[in-house]
Amino acid sequence: MNSIILGIESTAHTAGVGIITSEGKILSNQRSMYIPEEGGIHPREAARHHSDIFPVLFDKAFKEANLKPSEISLVSYARGPGLGPCLRTGATAARAFAYSHEIPLIGVNHCVAHLEIGLLEGATDPVLLYLSGANTQVIAYASEKYRVFGETIDIGIGNGLDKFAREAGMGFPGGPKIEKLAKGPELLDLPYSVKGMDMAFSGLMTAAKSKLDSGHPIETVTYSLQENAFAMSCEVAERALAHTGKTELVLGGGVACNERLREMATIMTEERGVKCFIPSKDLCVDNGVMIGWLGYQMVNGDYKITEEDNRVHQKYRTDMVEVTWR
């Protein structure tokens, strides 16, 4: 049967409502990002943005998909990981919609959703290089779980870029602004911190800021910053490919919108003879479609919805999920 799934995302700054069919046809992908007036994300303010915008996103999604709520057969929302107030807002919207229309409700892991949307792109058993604001992980399936093969040991790569940009007076989100400025041509000497399979970005961002303060042009600093941060990420991804013997790489997360990162990952995978799947930017960033798609994979597999699905989980790690649907 071709069923239709509603996916709801609210783990951090983005509220998303997506509608996708069980065959993988995307009917709508509505998103709205909370942008703080100054400073970083304030969880309660982000949550307020989400609760204000959800009715609008629902409305737009159903209009675009040309559907009635009663035509939805599953509601899937991101249980975690994420910011408590934001998660609770999405969960409340999901519960209200599911219960009022008597539709089953499932809660899914946000990071796993970034990986599984790569399967929609044609990957079958990939390594995911997941580079977002708060999350920086290299994930792959092994023995009933999605395992974290490497990750940041301090801040997420996107948060690091945002912090550098904020301190350099560029505003939020910083990643795209850094990308526009990053022209080189000189490659400055900055920390390159790969420790085992893990990465550290904090020192890199601080060092980049002091290069800027000591008079290096912003084009050179942002270029060097990107080169180091992305090379570190690609190195860990490549070693995860070597270690697992997998032959597919998927990119995910907002930072995966970056053209230089995409280019580096493409070069690395070509040199290894591995396929590289790069979802469209709409599907790399946080979105409801990937949440709906994962929810459907789970119920279509052996996953049994339980009471737990009703509860958000701020620290819901990738490797806590029992993968019963593969």
**Rule CB under 6 A: which residues touch ligand AMP?**
12, 14, 132-133, 158-159, 161-162, 173-176, 179, 253-255, 257-258, 285-286
Interaction of residue 151 with Mg ion, rule CB under 5 A = no
Beta-carbon-side half-sphere exposure of residue 89 (alpha carbons within 13 Å) = 27
- Decide whether 272 or 313 has the Cβ nearer to ligand AMP: 313
- The rounded distance, in Å, linking the Cα atoms of 326 and 324 is 6
In sequence order, what DSSP letters do the residues of 202-213 get, joined into one string?
HHHHHHHHHHHH
- Taking each helix axis from N to C end, the angle separating 110-120 and 288-300, rounded to the nearest 10 degrees, works out to 80
Q: Which CB sits closer to ligand AMP, 40 or 122?
A: 40
Q: Does 9 bind Mg ion (CB under 5 A)?
A: no
Q: Which is nearer to ligand AMP, 72 or 249 (CB)?
A: 249
- The residue within the footprint of Mg ion, chosen from 286, 289, 297, 321 (CB under 5 A), is 286
Structural element, H or E, at residue 17: strand 14-21
**Considering the rule CB under 5 A, would residue 159 count as an interface residue with Mg ion?**
no
Burial pattern 228-248, b for ≥16 Cβ within 10 A else e, equals: bbbebbbbbbbbbbeebebbb
289 binds, among Mg ion, ligand AMP, none (CB under 5 to 8 A by kind): none
**Total number of residues that touch Mg ion (CB under 5 A):** 2
> Which range binds Mg ion by CB under 5 A, 62-70, 212-220, 268-276, 283-291?
283-291
Binding status of residue 137 toward Mg ion by CB under 5 A: no
**If binding is defined by CB under 5 A, does position 116 make contact with Mg ion?**
no
CB of 110 to Mg ion, least distance (A): 6
CB under 5 to 8 A by kind: which of Mg ion, ligand AMP, none does 321 bind? none
Instruction: Output the smallest distance, CB 281 to ligand AMP, in A.
Output: 8
- Helix 218-244 vs helix 259-272: angle between axes, to the nearest 10 degrees? 30
| Cα-based distances in Å from 240 to 1, 69, 110, 309 | 37, 42, 21, 31
Burial (CB count <10 Å: 0-12, 13-18, 19+), residue 179: middle
**Nearest-approach distance from CB 254 to ligand AMP, in angstroms:** 2
Strands 74-80 and 26-33 turn out to be unpaired
CB distance 325 to 146 below 8 Å: no
Distances, alpha carbon 313 to alpha carbons 80, 92, 108, 116, 304, in Å: 5, 14, 10, 20, 18
Give the C-alpha separation, 33 to 36, whole Å: 10
Cβ nearer to Mg ion, comparing 85 with 252: 252
Task: Choose between 92 and 132: whose C-beta lies nearer to Mg ion.
Answer: 132
Please, what is the minimum distance in Å from the beta carbon of residue 306 to ligand AMP? 28
Min separation Cβ 318 and ligand AMP, Å: 14
Q: What residues pair up with 33 in beta bridges, in sequence order?
A: 14
Q: Which is nearer to Mg ion, 110 or 211 (CB)?
A: 110
* Least spacing, CB of residue 285 vs Mg ion, in Å: 7
For ligand AMP, the closer CB: 72 or 127: 127
Q: Which residues bind Mg ion (CB under 5 A)?
A: 132, 286
